Structure 1
Amino acid sequence: MKRKDLIRQLELAGCVLVRHGGKHDWYHNPTTNVSQPIPRHTEINEHLAKHILKLLANT
């Protein structure tokens, strides 16, 4: 999955960027109070992307 597509889905679910890290960006969902790092690779593994969406977007 493309990183920009993952970020778009997270932002539509209400997640916000908390901070830029060294190799990851941290996103937080204020409704569920869960934070998760998002790698800065242009392509993110499908399993990892689904895991991140499951944790942050509650899908």
Structure 2
Amino acid sequence: MLPIIKGKTLISFLESLNFTIIRQRGSHVRMKSEDGRYTTIPVHSGEAIPKGLLRKIIRDDLEMTLEEFTLAYNEYMGRIQ
């Protein structure tokens, strides 16, 4: 099951996976990984990213399985708390 994630939290998590912010236009942040993968994260004031969009980001942009993402995200959340 996917966690409920806000845009700013997802950006911090992706930075821990060596993604960097390359630009921001309005409420959308564009990020790039060291190996050339790109993603765009919506950052709307306090709103969680919709599940369907999160799935698309994980599978298509991050090229991870849902299980890989969930394990990495839970490990990350354990480290920062």
TM-score normalized by structure 2?
0.57
Which is bigger in relative contact order (C-alpha 8 A, separation at least 6)? 1
Structure 2 gaps of 5+ residues are: 69-81
Specify which of 22, 35, 39 is matched with residue 38 of structure 2. 35
Equivalent-residue separation in structure 1 for 2:63 and 2:15 (angstroms): 9
Specify which of 8, 14, 37 is matched with residue 10 of structure 1. 14
The answer to whether the Cα contact below 8 Å between 1:29 and 1:57 also exists between their aligned partners in 2 is: no
The answer to whether the Cα contact below 8 Å between 1:13 and 1:57 also exists between their aligned partners in 2 is: no
The answer to whether the Cα contact below 8 Å between 1:15 and 1:29 also exists between their aligned partners in 2 is: yes
> Which of 1 and 2 has greater Rg?
2
Q: CA deviation at 1:34?
A: 1.6
How many residues are matched? 58
Equivalent in the alignment of 1:22: 26
Root-mean-square deviation over aligned CA pairs: 1.9
Q: Alpha carbons of 1:4 and 1:23: their partners in 2 closer, same or farther (altered >3 Å)?
A: closer
Task: String of CA shifts for 1:5-48, please: whole Å, max 9, x gaps.
Answer: 211221111100000113311011122x1212111223211231
TM-score normalized by structure 1?
0.72
